[in-house]
Structures are given as structure tokens and as C-alpha cells.
Amino acid sequence: MHGFTSLLLLGSCALQSVLGRPDVSRARRDGVLLQRAVTDFIATEEQIALEQLLCNIGAGGCNSQGVASGLVIASPSKSSPDYFYTWTRDSALVFKAIVERFANEYDGSLQTEIVNYIISQAKLQTVSNPSGALSDGQGLGEAKYLVDGSAFTGGWGRPQRDGPALRAITLIGYSKWLIANGYTSTATSLVWPVIRNDLTYVAQYWNQTGFDLWEEVSGSSFFTVASQHRALIEGSALAKSLGSSCSACDAVAPQVLCFLQSFWSPSSGFALANINVNNGRSSKDANVILASIHNFDPALGCDAATFQPCSDRALSSHKVVVDSFRSIYTINAGIGAGSAVAVGRYPEDSYYNGNPWYLNTLAAAEQLYDALYVWQTSGSITVTSTSLAFFRALVPSVAAGTYPSTSATYTTIYNAVFLYADGFVGKVQQYAQTNGSLAEQYDRNTGAALSARDLTWSYASFLTAAARRAGVIPVGWGGGNTAATSVPGTCFATSQGGSYSTVVLTAFPTSQTPQAGQTTTGTFTRPTVTTTLSPTTTGGSGGDCPQATAVAVSFTVTKVTVYGQTVKIVGNTSQLGNWDTSKAIALSASQYTSSNPIWSGSVTLTPGQSVQYKYIVVNTDGSVTWEADPNRAYSIPSGCDSTATKTDRWQ
């Protein structure tokens, strides 16, 4: 799979004096070094993030003792703070990332987790709690539950109306995979009834206030309303594909989109995070960046009404929110506009003294990767008066206008934005713990990890940001549907009630794997583009060098074997055999010793390519022993170097 990072390289000759830097060659060199550092970090951290995320899912996760099957704990932390609960919102966003990963590359172990999640959520919908019960739907707005799936009855900010919408979106994503692979009956009979309860809730209660995603502000939240709109649009489309309908979705969705427009503040140049509140805050909040990335659909282009990541409103809001943290965090001191900084929730935050969050810093990167994808696949970048300040922070000489991919200005902007996006991932790399652990926050003064350890949402955010950087984009939700972007001329507070049903799920059919002959599900898109870049880039030495068109990656794994056994590597690309063990690449034991049992070999791969792979042992009788899950992941470095090294231990 070829991601767009291999096509337009940061730190290349496109970083010219328009960036206003006195030492252009150094800027180029620093850009290349940043890109390489981020690529290497992702290659290492991706596997850690996936493993730690799965550790926080019951019942088999390594941090999930006593957690019911399919439930996600927010964090293993049980004190200061106690996050050992399951939140509807967090769980839905975590499984949204899992479903996207699963749909891109089939993984039976992830499918088991998804099925367990759906079964657990069907049960959770029936649990009466302080928000209410299922009979009138109000219980679906409960924020969190005990890890055994029973009600949490303590005081809390409730209801929180984003959970049902996000859960519906996640389950719709899996339903699309089922339909694409011939399992429509499973989607119809098992998954749709759970989704329908959540859609009914959204259509009935969307126009009532509730607590925001940070669980602090009671009012109308941009993130919540954007999620509700997507859920209704996507839910209606799914219903039609299942031979059913969602009339409430069709009636209410346009009014939700109409209401969403009221969050935009033209005079301030950003979307307000919360309205219908009086809390004394500026309403500058990462809430709006998260809304943008979780409602991304490349088929919608740079649509402003749905706040697509490359829309002028979303980019302007990105700048305002990110800039609000530049002067208040010590670790951001001296970092000027146009360079990445640590990103928190909102500038007035006082929780744990108010700090940057890993997931918000990653979200800032992800929005920009999303934008880059659309620009690359559409072949142009448009700068408007609304987004001009965002672009001028990166390219001071730019003017409003549309720049085709054949223009030098397009290339300059594209590379500057990519460098900016990588900078946010670089901040996470800088402040992640040495073992790759991502907590909830990192200290605004020292960068040390703070608050809940191993936050599941942090790991999910890393996985989605890394995927977008690699050009892996999940199936859209609104493209081709004019209702997705058509804003009514007048807003009405329309809502529709409905009936709710208890869904009893105990198991799913087995062996629901991709259809024969399919290597992907067809639900992901990848760009086919051309580049306007010069074929040279600047290496770490500061001199020009030819851009590597292929990289010989030396894979080394430590594995004790016996005479007659051979260690091989196999993966998801043609160079690695497309998971066919008969085409796996044999490694050499020429350096093998009893004290250092290493096997190694070289595979030629494409710069910027993201691969998944595993090591296998082929026994003397031809039988194969696989490494344990999960699949390994590695992004091939881009730049001047034509060689790279990846060292692993058998898992």
C-alpha cells in the first residue's frame, strides 16, 4: 500500500525562501530529519499503541481483569484519577479506530473484538441508570458504566448525547464491511437493531442540551452535534442498503446540519465549541478539531457546512485553537506561529492544572493529514479569506486563490502543511514515555506524563493519525448524498420520537471472512496522484542527493530455532508475499549463535510505503508456526537513503 507521504516529501526543494527563514538549506535539512524521525517513531509506536489499546479491552486484555467481554476501560488507572470505567463515547471512538483498521486489512482477532463489543453494547443499552431506561431511550445518554456492565450511580455530568451517535457510526462502519463481503443478513438481523436504538435516540433528543465530551459544560456541543448529523445521514443510507428505512433520520438530519452552522463565529474566525452556555470561556477548544477528523469524508472535499478538515472554516479554527496554547504552556515557549506545539483541551482548562493532551496533539496532526489527502486527490488547494491566516502562518507570501497541483505554490503549501502536521506527531514523540506509553496528559511545564496512564483514547488517536499519514482513509459517509451538505434556509427545532427495543445478542456467525479472492474489502480508498517535486532532496549532511526510489530494508529477528527450521518473513504486500507463506522471504542464519540467535535478510520496498508483516518458522516437515498477534507494522523511510534496518524479537 502506497501512502501519500512517499509522493510529496517534506524538507525537499519545495521548502524555499517564501517560508521566511534565513537559512533555507537548514530548513530543508531539518524538514527531512523531522520526517525521518516521525516515520521511525510511527514504525515503532504503532505496534505499541495497538497492543496497549487491546490490553484495555475486556475480558482478555492484559489490563482488563474483571472487565466484562467487549467493554473498553478508559485507562487501567484506579486512583488519582480513577478511570477504571467504560465510557460510551470513548469506547465508540476506540472501536471506530479498530473497525477502520480491520476493514483496511482483515484480522480475525480484531473481528472477535468487534463482535464482543457489539454484544456488550446491546446489553448496555438495556441497563437502567441515573439518566433513565431504554423504554423511552433516555438511558442511552448515560456517560459511563462499571466495568462489569452495571450502572454507575454516583454523581456525574449527565446526560452526554454524543455516545449514541458515535456508537451508531462505529457499528455502521462494521455493517458496511459485512455488506461488502456478502454478510448482509448479519448486519440486518444482529447489528442494525442496536444501531436503530441509537439513531432513534439521536433523532428524538438531539436538540436537548447535555454535557460536552470533556464532561464539564452543559449546553450544546459542536462535537456532539456534528456527530449526530453524521450518524443520521449514514444511518439512513445503511437502512436503505438493508432494504429498510429511517424516516426520522431523513426528517431530522437537515435540521441538525442547520443548527451546526450556528456555532461558526465569522467575526472571530473559529467554530465555538459550546453554545447555549454561560461559562465565561472563550469557546476555543480542541472539541472542534476532533469534530472535524471524526466527520471526515474525502468525497465531501473541503465542504465547510460539514466542517471537513480542509474547509476554510476548519483550517481557520485549527489555527485559532492551536495558537491559544502557544503562550500558556512553558514547553511551547519560543515556538512561533506555523510551527507545531503541544495542544490541550481549551486555554482556560484547570484539570490537573490544565495541560496538553496526547490525543489533541495527534488530532491537530490528523486534521492536516486529512486535508493533504483531499488536496492531493483533488489536484488543487484553495485559499480563501477565511483560511488565509492559517496558510500565511506557513507560507507568508501566499494570497487567496486556487492553486493547481502543477503550480509551484501548490507544492510549497503542500510541503509546508505536511511539515507542520509531522511537527505535532513529533511533539508526541518528544513527550511520550520511553516505553511508548501514552497517558492522558503531559505536563505543561516539563512534558512529563500526567493523569491517567495508558489512556485507550490516546492510543486510538495515534493509530488513526498514523493511518491518515500513510494515506489510509476509511469509507466515507456523505459523498453522493446531497442531504449531507445541503443546509436548509431556515432552522427548525424538529425532533421525532420512536420506539426502542431490547436486543438480545449472544453470538455471531463464525467464519465471516473476506470474500474469496479479495485482498481488501473495497471500503478504503487510496490516492493515485502525480507530484510536482524536484527529484532531489536534501540529506542530513546538508548536500543535495538523489531521491531514493527503492529502499533495501534489512529485517532482523531474534528467534531460537533447532536444526532444520527456517525463519521467514511474510506480509501484506507483493514484495512480502501477500500473506502467502509459500511466497515468504527466507532469512539467513549466517550470524546465528547460541547467545545471539538472530535471523536476517533484506527486502526491497518502496519509500513511504506502510507494511504489515510477521515472522514465521517453517519446520522440517513443511508445517508453519506463526508469531503471535498482532501484525507488525513498519513505514519505509523516505529520503536519500536507499537502505534501512528493522530489528525485532519473536513475539
CA 411 – CA 631 distance, rounded (Å): 35
Lookup: cell for 85: 470505567
Distance CA 50, CA 47 (A): 5
Enumerate helices (H) and strands (E) in the chain, giving the number of each: 14, 21
Instruction: Find the length of the chain.
Output: 651
Burial of 546 (0-12, 13-18, 19+ CB in 10 A): exposed
**C-beta separation of 533 from 584 below 8 A:** no
The single-letter code of the amino acid at 118 is I
CA–CA distance, 169 with 321 (Å, rounded to integer): 26
Amino acid identity for residue 35 in this structure? Q
Rounded-to-integer distance, Cα 612 and Cα 616, Å: 14
Close Cβ partners of 22 (under 8 Å, ≥ 6 residues apart): none
Is 375 labeled as ligand-binding?
Answer: no
Q: What are the φ/ψ torsions at residue 544 (nearest 5 degrees)?
A: -70, 150
Question: Which residue carries 515468504 as its cell?
Answer: 584
d(CA 513, CA 505): 20
The residues, any chain, with a CB within 8 Å of residue 511's CB and separated by 6 or more, are none
Long-range Cβ pairs for the range 26-29 (8 Å, 24+): 26/542, 28/537, 28/538, 29/538, 29/539, 29/540, 29/542
251's torsion region: left (phi>0), alpha (psi -120 to 50) or beta?
A: alpha
Query: Is residue 215 annotated as a catalytic residue, yes or no?
Result: yes
- Torsion-angle region of 200 (φ positive above 0: left; ψ -120 to 50: alpha; else: beta): alpha
Out of 45, 198, 212, 370, which one is annotated catalytic?
Answer: 212
Distance CA 456, CA 91 (A): 9
Residue with cell string 502536521: 421
Question: Which residue out of 40, 51, 215, 641 is catalytically annotated?
Answer: 215
Quick check: bond before 546 cis, omega within 30?
no
d(CA 378, CA 60): 44
- Of residues 10, 26, 30, the one with CA closest to residue 637: 10
Distance separating alpha carbons of residues 175 and 184, to the nearest angstrom: 8
What one-character DSSP code corresponds to residue 575? G
Task: Specify whether the backbone of 11 is left (phi greater than 0), alpha (psi in -120 to 50) or beta.
Answer: left
Q: Cis omega (within 30 of 0) on the bond before 630?
A: yes
Query: Is 385 exposed, middle or buried, given 0-12, 13-18 or 19+ CB atoms closer than 10 A?
Result: exposed
The DSSP symbol for 627 reads P
**Residue 358 phi/psi, 5° resolution?**
-60, -45
Q: Which residues pair with 645 in a beta bridge?
A: 554
Q: Known binding site: residues?
A: 156
Annotated binding site for substrate: 156
| Catalytic residue list | 212, 215
